[in-house]
Amino acid sequence: MSALPKSVHVAVAVITAADGKILLTRRASDKHQGGLWEFPGGKCEPGEPVRAALAREIREELDIEITTVEPLISIPYQYPDLHVLLEVFRVTSFTGKPRGAEGQPMQWVTPGQLDEIPLPAANRPIVRAIQLPQQYLVTPDLSDSRQLYQGVMAAAAGGSRLIQLRTPQLERADYLKLADRLLADLPDTAMLLLKGELPDLLTRPQAGWHLTSAQLRAFAGQERPLPANRWLAASCHDAEELALAQALGCDFATLSPVQPTASHPDAPALGLELATKLTAAAQLPVFWLGGMQASDLEHVCASGGQGIAAIRGLWEAELL
């Protein structure tokens, strides 16, 4: 057997059925990461475009033709014995009926079940990218708790699944009161991330936590401060902070400011080119923040981002 190459470029498919279930196959036990479940896919041949490799691998492994393909995330990952660049695509339609054409076992699982299944270590951010929506709402800077409560509830009723409660104008006690009302009343489909200090999070097990970049730096070198079943995110502004977020085990990051924004007029914007570069190097889903609107979503996803985080761009006009 020849030695493994040092770095491989891999096309990976998250094949999603109409009911939201995702197709996993099991790796043969004699292969790299053998015996674990995986998303189907395989290595690009020299000079082969990644989407062509994806179509070929899925044809070879599952005997189907993929038809609707969108970029999900790309992950550079160093295993002890191999460097991989996983380029992951979501496949939402195909022709034919998938079968393990190489004799490999198959199963369809819900996004939530992915947490329970042994996958290769590089796959954790893929699982997070699958579980996260493409829009991350950040509450507008209002001082009226009632208006904020109604706005968040309306957003959740309208389908928003990921919401950060950011209210610099509220006193701490009022903030926590509002947070508790929302945690009690929001539907299970919506996840609320709070800002603040660890003790407040430890007493609110349903909440996620969004760290400031200063908190992220203060936690450097420490253990993940929340258990794996709670959402942990961080505000990042450069490559160093993205690396810290990853090292701390954050589930995702925001990267800002991508474009100039009214809420932070003095912060120099990263620009699209640098945001794309930083996102490609990161090993976690990255929401772009700063001057982002719903109309930017397609470009952000095509550039490797998870989606957009926005204050002004995503809330109903009457809230602002």
- Residue ranges at the known binding site: 27, 32, 38-41, 61, 123
Give the integer Cα–Cα distance in Å for 241 and 54.
32
Smallest distance from ligand 8GT to CB 28, Å: 8
- Which of these, 182, 184, 177, 195, lies nearest to 155 by C-alpha position? 182
Amino acid at residue number 80? P
Host H or E run for residue 148: helix 145-157
Per-residue binding letters, 125-144, with Mg ion (x by CB under 5 A):
--------------------
String of contacts with ligand 8GT for each residue 41-80, x by CB under 6 A: xxx-------------x-----------------------
The reply to whether 10 sits near ligand 8GT by the rule CB under 6 A is yes
**d(Cα 177, Cα 191) in Å, to the nearest integer?**
17
What is the three-class DSSP state of 103? coil
Binding-site size, Mg ion (CB under 5 A): 1
Residue from 42, 120, 125, 291 in contact with Mg ion (CB under 5 A): 42
* Pair 35, 104: CB distance under 8 Å: no
| Of 79, 2, 76, 74, the residue nearest 33 (C-alpha) | 79
Q: Which is nearer to ligand 8GT, 12 or 245 (CB)?
A: 12
Interatomic CA distance for residues 251 and 276, integer angstroms: 19
Per CB under 6 A, does 301 bind ligand 8GT? no
- Full DSSP string of 71-132: EEEEEEEE-SS-EEEEEEEEEEEEES----TTS--EEEE-TGGGGGS---GGGHHHHHHHHS
Q: Is 32 in the site for ligand 8GT (CB under 6 A)?
A: yes
Taking CB under 6 A as the criterion, which residues in 109-148 touch ligand 8GT? 120, 122-123
Task: Name the one range near Mg ion by CB under 5 A: 34-42, 123-131, 220-228, 249-257.
Answer: 34-42
Q: Which residue is nearest to Mg ion (CB)?
A: 42
Task: List phi, psi (to 5°) of 240.
Answer: -65, -45
Is 17 or 294 the residue whose CB approaches ligand 8GT more closely?
Answer: 17
Q: Which stretch binds ligand 8GT (CB under 6 A): 35-43, 235-243, 265-273, 296-304?
A: 35-43
Angle at 279 between CA 206 and CA 160, to 5 degrees: 35
CB of 284 to ligand 8GT, least distance (A): 15
Contact status, residue 257 vs residue 218, Cβ threshold 8 Å:
no
Q: Which stretch binds ligand 8GT (CB under 6 A): 37-45, 178-186, 210-218, 273-281?
A: 37-45
**Which residues contribute to the site for Mg ion (CB under 5 A)?**
42
